[in-house]
Chains A and B, each alone.
Chain A
Amino acid sequence: MTSPRTTLYRDKQNGKFMGVCAGIADYTGVDVIWVRIALVLAVCTPAVNGIILPAYFIAGMFLTKKPAHLYVDEQEQRYWQRVRQSPKRTAREIRARFRDIDRRLADVETYYVTSNPRLSAEIERLR
Chain B
Amino acid sequence: MEAIFIVPAIVLGLPWIIFHYITKWKTAATITTDDEALLDELYQLAKRLDERMDTVERLVASDNPDFKPARILHDRELDNEPLRELDRLLAEKKGARR
The reply to whether B43 and A87 form a contact with Cβ atoms under 8 Å apart is no
- Closest partner residue, chain A, to B66 (CB atom): A115
- Residues on B with C-beta less than 8 A from A57 are none
- Residues on A with C-beta less than 8 A from B29 are 87-88
Q: Does B56 contact A (CB under 8 A)?
A: yes
Q: How far is the CA of A108 from the CA of B36 in the complex (A)?
A: 33
Contact for A5 among B36, B66, B70, CB less than 8 A: B36
Q: Does B67 contact A (CB under 8 A)?
A: yes
Known A2-B33, A83-B31, A87-B29; judge A108-B56 contact (CB<8 A). yes
Interchain pairs with CB closer than 8 A, number? 57
The reply to whether A87 and B31 form a contact with Cβ atoms under 8 Å apart is yes
Pick from B5-13, B45-53, B74-82, B85-93 the stretch touching chain A.
B45-53
Q: For this complex, into which size category does the number of interface residues on chain B fall?
A: 20 to 34
Report how many residues on chain A are interfacial, defined by Cβ distance under 8 Å.
24
Q: How far is the CA of A103 from the CA of B30 in the complex (A)?
A: 32
Q: How far is the CA of A6 from the CA of B30 in the complex (A)?
A: 9
The reply to whether A97 and B50 form a contact with Cβ atoms under 8 Å apart is yes
Q: Does A17 contact B (CB under 8 A)?
A: no
Shortest C-beta distance, B9 to chain A (Å), equals: 17
Shortest C-beta distance, B11 to chain A (Å), equals: 18
Q: How far is the CA of A94 from the CA of B46 in the complex (A)?
A: 7
- Residues on B with C-beta less than 8 A from A90 are 39
The reply to whether A117 and B64 form a contact with Cβ atoms under 8 Å apart is yes
- The 26 listed contacts between A and B (C-beta, < 8 Å) are A3-B32, A3-B33, A3-B36, A5-B40, A76-B43, A87-B39, A88-B29, A91-B42, A94-B39, A94-B42, A94-B46, A97-B50, A98-B46, A101-B53, A103-B70, A104-B57, A104-B69, A104-B70, A104-B71, A105-B53, A105-B56, A107-B70, A108-B56, A108-B60, A115-B64, A117-B64
- Residues on A with C-beta less than 8 A from B56 are 105, 108
Contact for B49 among A83, A91, A98, A115, CB less than 8 A: A98
Shortest C-beta distance, B66 to chain A (Å), equals: 8
Q: How far is the CA of A87 from the CA of B29 in the complex (A)?
A: 9
